[in-house]
């Protein structure tokens, strides 16, 4: 468990009592109720179905973030997608702007963070528990570059980078990450988890 105010020595196992119960995320949204059309597609997506799966993952990340008491940023180019009767950027727990996030102290950091698929913030916005890119069949490189650019703009800020990708992309993601992200992420497998 990530505890920024109660760090322990790397490699040692410690116990931390936690008052909140974390269980399966309850989905009251029907993922089939995501409204997309051709104008929602960018060069990263080869079909509406691919974009729909991407959006489903963003909704799931918002729900998981809410369960962990995090605030969530959703990429600016995805915020207007309709999920049920709400826009993705207006779901509970999603923040509306990066302007007041002091960690992103420059216009450059705000620009690069605005395009990240999902960023979790602690409630006080002092910590970034995760920077998350959702990768799919066509756009593995672009998400990695966005994370790298964000890291370059705020090198002193510690933030875990995570990639959400299907199993069949694992080798492609690892290969590209080890090529693109050097020297910032040493060795991909040990520095950036892949959630499959």
Tens-digit pLDDT profile for residues 143-192: 888 888 898 898 888 888 888 887 777 778 777 777 776 555 544 443 44
Q: With the CA atoms of 84, 89, 92 and 95 taken in that order, what torsion angle do they form, in degrees rounded to the nearest 10?
A: 180
Alpha-carbon span 86 to 40, nearest angstrom: 16
Q: Are 110 and 99 in contact (CB under 8 A)?
A: yes
- Domain ranges in the chain are 31-195
* Residues in CB range of 178: below 8 A, 6 or more apart: 187, 188
CA distance 157 to 137: 30
Average pLDDT value over all residues in the chain: 78
pTM: 0.76
């Amino acid at each position: 468990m990530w505890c920024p105010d109660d760090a322990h020595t790397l490699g040692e196992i410690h116990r931390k009592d936690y008052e909140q119960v974390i269980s399966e995320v309850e989905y009251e949204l029907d993922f089939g109720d995501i409204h997309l059309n051709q104008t929602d597609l960018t060069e990263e997506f080869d079909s509406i179905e691919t974009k729909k799966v991407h959006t489903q993952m963003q909704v799931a990340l918002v729900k998981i973030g809410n369960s962990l008491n995090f605030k969530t940023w959703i990429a600016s180019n995805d915020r207007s997608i309709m999920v049920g009767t709400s826009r993705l950027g207006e779901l509970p727990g999603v923040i509306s702007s990066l302007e007041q996030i002091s960690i992103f102290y420059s216009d450059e950091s705000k620009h690069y963070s605005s395009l990240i698929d999902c960023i979790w913030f602690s409630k006080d916005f002092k910590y970034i528990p995760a920077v998350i890119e959702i990768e799919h069949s066509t756009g593995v490189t672009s998400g990695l570059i966005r994370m790298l650019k964000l890291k370059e703009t705020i090198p002193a800020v510690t933030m875990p980078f995570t990639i959400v990708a299907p199993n069949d992309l694992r080798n492609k993601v690892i290969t590209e990450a080890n090529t693109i992200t050097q020297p910032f992420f040493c060795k991909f497998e040990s520095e950036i988890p892949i959630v499959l």
